[in-house]
């Protein structure tokens, strides 16, 4: 049964003030998950006293800190997190995104039901804090067919993040999706964008132009958003996107506004 499966959530974070605030939010989201049989493995690059103090204050035995050797690529850091994990299922837990309390539960159920090596979300919300605009992205037509940053996979899945070259620093999760596709091991969970909100905050690994391209190319139209307005409002209830109204929009026009 899914409730019996031990899930390792894997986070890589950097020692910067902005990343610390993001990481605290991601850790809080982990603590609020409905799936109980879990752990959080946090790999941090170089000495990171702030994250150590924060985790110590939480007093949780299910959160482990791993200090990485200096100079590792993002791909190598992700491999390190997998090596330190104890779970039979691994769940990528990016430090700067927003996670619904049912994220682990829903993706784990989809993984078990599919029988695949891995499952990732076909849809995610994308939020631009600077403009307070929210898009619904669908990744079906992309090379990954899913949003790579939402990967949940079996611990013995035949994957290895690239540790050298350009893809070890950017697109390491896409490389893993392609590895899974080559063995027909990747399943998609569609229609649940609220489980992960992808934050385009201006200090992401990919530059602002890439994030604008995603909204433009993958965003659902304003018309489709209006047809799903009731569902969107219901599933974003309680999600903290900060103070002020949030504009739901497609690449072509504004759909409607959420008052916060």
Instruction: Give the list of residues 6+ apart from residue 206 with CB closer than 8 angstroms, or none.
Output: 170
Contact between residue 91 and residue 11 where contact means Cβ atoms under 8 Å apart: no
| Farthest CA pair distance, the chain | 50
At residue 81, φ and ψ (nearest 5 deg) are -60, -40
Range 201-220 burial, b when 16+ CB lie within 10 A, else e = eeeeeeeeeebeebbeebbb
Asked if residue 236 lies in contact with residue 135, where contact means CB atoms within 8 angstroms, the answer is no
Q: Beta-carbon neighbour count of residue 86 at 10 Å?
A: 11
Distance set, CA 214 to CA 53, 177, 200, 234 (Å): 36, 18, 10, 25
Residue 210 has a pLDDT of: 87
155 by Cβ neighbours in 10 Å (0-12 / 13-18 / 19+) ranks as middle
What is the per-residue pLDDT for 163?
Answer: 95
- Tell me the helices (H) and strands (E) count for the chain, helix number first: 8, 13
- pLDDT score of 207: 65
Domain 2-258: which topology?
Answer: Spore Coat Polysaccharide Biosynthesis Protein SpsA; Chain A (3.90.550)
Pairing between β-strand 118-121 and β-strand 38-45 as defined by DSSP bridges: unpaired
Q: What is the pTM of this model?
A: 0.94
Domain ranges of the chain: 2-258
How far, in Å, CA of 25 to CA of 259, rounded?
22
Give the DSSP letter of residue 219.
B
Pairing of strands 123-128, 152-154: unpaired
Q: Which residues of the chain have pLDDT under 50?
A: none
HEC letters along 93-140:
CCCCCEECCCHHHHHHHHHHHHCCCEEEECEEEEEECCCCEEEEEECC
């Amino acid at each position: 049964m899914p409730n019996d499966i031990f899930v390792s959530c894997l986070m890589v974070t950097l020692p910067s003030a902005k990343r610390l605030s993001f990481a605290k939010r991601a850790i809080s989201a982990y603590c609020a998950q409905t799936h109980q049989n879990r752990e959080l493995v946090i790999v941090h690059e170089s000495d990171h006293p702030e994250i150590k103090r924060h985790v110590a204050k939480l007093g949780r035995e299910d959160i482990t800190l791993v200090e990485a050797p200096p100079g590792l690529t993002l791909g190598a850091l992700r491999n390190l997190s997998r090596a330190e994990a104890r779970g039979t299922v691994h769940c990528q837990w990016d430090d700067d995104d927003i996670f619904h309390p049912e994220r682990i539960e829903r993706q784990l159920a989809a993984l078990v039901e599919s029988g695949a090596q891995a499952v990732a979300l076909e849809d995610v919300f994308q939020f631009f804090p600077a403009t307070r605009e929210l898009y619904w992205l669908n990744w079906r037509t992309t090379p990954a067919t899913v949003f790579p940053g939402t990967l949940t996979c079996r611990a013995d899945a035949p994957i290895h993040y690239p540790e050298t070259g350009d893809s070890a620093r950017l697109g390491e999760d896409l490389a893993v999706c392609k590895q899974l596709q080559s063995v027909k091991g990747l399943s998609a969970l569609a229609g649940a964008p609220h489980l992960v909100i992808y934050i385009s905050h201006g200090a992401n690994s990919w530059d602002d132009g890439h994030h604008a391209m995603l909204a433009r190319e993958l965003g659902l139209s304003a018309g489709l958003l209006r047809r799903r307005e009731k569902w969107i409002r219901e599933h974003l209830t309680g999600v903290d996107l900060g103070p002020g109204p949030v504009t739901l929009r497609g690449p072509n026009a504004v759909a409607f506004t959420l008052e916060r």
